[in-house]
Amino acid sequence: MVMVVREIGVVGSGQMGSGIAQLAAVSGFHVVMVDSDENALKKGLQNIHSSIHRAINKGQLSKSVADDALQRLRCSTSLQEFHSTDVVIEAIVENENVKKQVFSELDKVAKSSAILASNTSSISITRLAAATSRPGQVIGMHFMNPPPVMKLLEIVRGAQTSEDAFVTIKGLAHRLGKTVICSQDYPGFIVNRILMPMINEAFYALYTGVATKEDIDTGMKLGTNHPMGPLELADFIGLDICLSILKVLHDGLGDSKYCPCPLLVQYVDAGRLGRKRGIGVYSYSGTPKSNSHL
C-alpha cells in the first residue's frame, strides 16, 4: 500500500544525516535523529541549528517556521525511538557489514509497515535488504551533499523493492522538494558511476604531473561550468568516501578503469581525508570542518 509519510527517522548525525534531518524537519515532517555516539549527536544538532540560523539571517526562513521545524525534531541514542516512524533513512559510515547490522536491528524495532531506506552512495540495496525480513520495503534514497541545498534525490530500487515502496518514496522526495532520478541497483548507481571516474582521473592527472591541482580544478570549473573542480569536490565529499566508492566500482564491475589512483590511496592512508580533517588535496586553515556551514 502506498503510505502517507508523517514521521521520519534518520540514523547517523554526521554531515549527511544531520542535513537530511534538517531538510525533513523544515519540510514539515516529525523527525527523530539517532546516533549511538552522544557527542556526534550533539555536533549534528549544532550543525542543524547553525544552518537554520544562517537561513533565518539570510531571510530564507522565517523564525516561526524554523522554531516549528526544531520542535518537530528530536534526538536520541537509541534505535528503539524508531518504533513509530513511517520511513527510516540510514546515513551512517559507508561500510557494508556495519550497514547490514543496522538494517537487521532496524527491521526488529521499526513497525511492520515502515520503509527502510539507505543513503548509501554505492553499496548494494539488494544486499542490505537481504539483512531484513522485509526486502520489498528496502530502498535507496541517495541524497547529494549538502542535502538541504542539492536539488537531486537518486532513488535506487533493489531487486525486491516493491512498487508501493517506490511510489511512497518518490512522493516523499517531492515533498522534500527534490527532483528524482531512478537507478537500478548496480555499483555506484548513476551519479557516482560517472562522478567517481572523473574524480579519479583528476587524481591521475595530478599524480602523473599533467598539471597543478589548481589548474586541474580551474580547468573543470571554468571549462565545463562545474561549481567546484574535481579535486576540490573530492575534498568536500571526503577522500575516504571517494576511495570506498571507487573500490565498490572496481570490485563490482571488474574493470581496471575504476582502479583507484595510488595518490588518492596514499592521501587516505596519510589521514588526508579532505575538509573534515582540515587537509586533503588542499589545506584548510582554522578548525577542521566539513563545509563552510559546519
Residues that bind ligand CAA in the complex, under the rule CB under 6 A: 51, 54, 58, 60, 121, 144-146, 148-150, 191-192, 195, 227-228, 233, 237, 241, 291-293
Catalytic member of 119, 192, 200, 290: 192
Catalytic member of 122, 142, 232, 244: 142
To the query of whether residue 142 is one of the catalytic residues in this protein, the response is yes
Catalytic member of 13, 154, 183, 250: 154
Q: Please, which residue, 9 or 19, has the CB nearer to ligand CAA?
A: 19
Q: Please, which residue, 91 or 172, has the CB nearer to ligand CAA?
A: 91
Closest residue by beta carbon to ligand CAA: 121
In whole angstroms, the minimum distance from the beta carbon of 48 to ligand CAA comes to: 9
Q: Please, which residue, 112 or 285, has the CB nearer to ligand CAA?
A: 285
Task: Write the DSSP string, the chain.
Answer: ------EEEEE--SHHHHHHHHHHHHTT-EEEEE-S-HHHHHHHHHHHHHHHHHHHHTTSS-HHHHHHHHHTEEEES-GGGGGG-SEEEE---S-HHHHHHHHHHHHHHS-TT-EEEE--SSS-HHHHHTTSS-GGGEEEEEEPSSTTT--EEEEEE-TT--HHHHHHHHHHHHHTTPEEEEEESSTTTTHHHHHHHHHHHHHHHHHTTSS-HHHHHHHHHHHH--SS-HHHHHHHH-HHHHHHHHHHHHHHH--GGGPPPHHHHHHHHTT--BGGGTBSSSB--SS--SSTT-
To the query of whether residue 121 is one of the catalytic residues in this protein, the response is yes
To the query of whether residue 192 is one of the catalytic residues in this protein, the response is yes
In whole angstroms, the minimum distance from the beta carbon of 69 to ligand CAA comes to: 13
In whole angstroms, the minimum distance from the beta carbon of 127 to ligand CAA comes to: 18
What gap in Å lies between CA 122 and CA 187, rounded to an integer? 6
In whole angstroms, the minimum distance from the beta carbon of 28 to ligand CAA comes to: 17
Q: Please, which residue, 246 or 279, has the CB nearer to ligand CAA?
A: 246
Catalytic member of 13, 118, 121, 183: 121
Q: Please, which residue, 56 or 109, has the CB nearer to ligand CAA?
A: 56
In whole angstroms, the minimum distance from the beta carbon of 123 to ligand CAA comes to: 11
To the query of whether residue 104 is one of the catalytic residues in this protein, the response is no
Catalytic residues: 121, 142, 154, 192
